[in-house]
Structure 1
Amino acid sequence: MLTAHVVYATMTGNNEEVANIVCDSLTNLNVKVTESEISQTDVADFMKADILVVCAYTYDEGAMPEEGLDFYDDLQSTDLTGKVYGVAGSGDKFYGEYFNTTVDHFDDAFKKAGATSGAEKVKIDLEPYEEDIERLNKFAEGLVKTASK
């Protein structure tokens, strides 16, 4: 059975909701899922899963979540070869060019660590609506399909 660890950072609750949707979708695809808040998660714990997911917000003009900086730094210096990853996040289009840049930063960190992208990153404006839930379900399906190879 495949395992997944979904980590989230949230300020408004939107990214916890995004994480919950991804977890439910993975569970429905027969994946054993662990979910945790980013400041309560060590990258070593993250390593125990086949599929690694980060759902995080972007603060202000492109700032990453303070509570996730250590995790982000540790992630980049960890060998994630053989792991499948995905990144999703809720942000606010109000910030224009800075919209959801944390998703891009985590995507780059996973690549730097040698992990394999299992799905296209998902950027959501504010809270997830029906079309976002569909995108997140497809995201989860892509992760499972890639990890099953």
Structure 2
Amino acid sequence: MLKLMRAIICFLSYSGNTEEVAELIKEQLVASGYIVDMYMIGFGVVPDLSTYDKLFFGTFTWDRGSTPDEMKDFVREIGYKPDNVYVFGSGDTQFGGNDLFCGAVDKLRKFYNSTYEGLKIEQSPRGSQEKTVTNWIEGVLKNGKSKNIRT
């Protein structure tokens, strides 16, 4: 019997940019045969993450490279460090330049010891950045190594 693969996308979004990335990731995963759940951080009880094959955590970057408090609370609520975490996020280089761009993605990756590089999107994933999201997901599904991906 073939086991269906399950993924969850847990994301934090104020402006809608990170949510747009999450939706694109969902589309790609569903097209690849995954059962996908979405969880907007800060709304409702944190799901049991141990029931998923892949965990996608998405956040924007706040205050010159910082991780938003709601994401920190989410991490505390999980209470353990799963080893199947993939991190993505949106940011804006006008607030701190390249050095601080999507700093929350880097911090979450490091915290979870994620073996796959984070996806970093400048503001909205529309246009050419949609292909960046697609390429990242294809890499995650192949479980290969990559460099930080951003446009």
SS of equivalent to 2:8: strand
What is the one-letter code of the residue matched to 1:92?
A: D
Displacement of 1:79: 4.3
Instruction: Trace 1:1-149 onto structure 2 (pairs within 5 A).
Output: 1-40=4-43, 45-75=48-78, 77-81=79-83, 84-95=84-95, 96=97, 97-111=99-113, 117=115, 119-146=116-143
Residue 6 of structure 1 aligns to a residue whose secondary structure is strand
In 1, Cα distance between equivalents of 2:46 and 2:138: 24
Structure 1 residue 68: Cα displacement: 1.5
Structure 2, gaps ≥5 residues long: 145-151
Measure the CA separation in 1 of the matches of 2:143 and 2:55.
Answer: 12
Deviation at 1:74, TM superposition (A): 4.4
Q: Per-residue deviation at 1:144?
A: 2.2
Q: Which runs of 5+ in 1 are unaligned?
A: none
- Percent identity of equivalent pairs: 27
The whole-number CA distance in structure 2 between the counterparts of 1:44 and 1:34 is: 10
Higher relative contact order (CA 8 A, sep 6+): 1
Given the superposition, is the C-alpha separation of residues 56 and 32 from structure 1 closer, same or farther in structure 2, using an over 3 Å criterion?
same
Q: Hey, which bits of structure 1, 4+ residues long, moved more than 4 A?
A: 41-44
CA deviation after TM superposition for structure 1 residue 129, in Å: 2.6
For these two proteins, the number of residue pairs brought into alignment is: 139
2:88–2:118 Cα contact (<8 Å) kept: yes
User: Is residue 109–residue 117 contact of structure 2 (8 Å, CA) maintained in 1?
Assistant: no
Partner amino acid, structure 1, of 2:57: V
CA distance in 2, matches of 1:99, 1:41: 29
- Closer, same or farther in 2 for the Cα pair 1:79/1:103, shift >3 Å? closer
Note the C-alpha offset of 1:67. 1.5
TM-score by length of 1: 0.82
**In 2: Cα distance, 1:103 partner to 1:87 partner:** 6
Counterpart of 2:106, as a letter, is D
Is the Cα contact below 8 Å between 2:81 and 2:112 reproduced in 1? no
- Identify, as 1 or 2, the structure richer in helix: 1
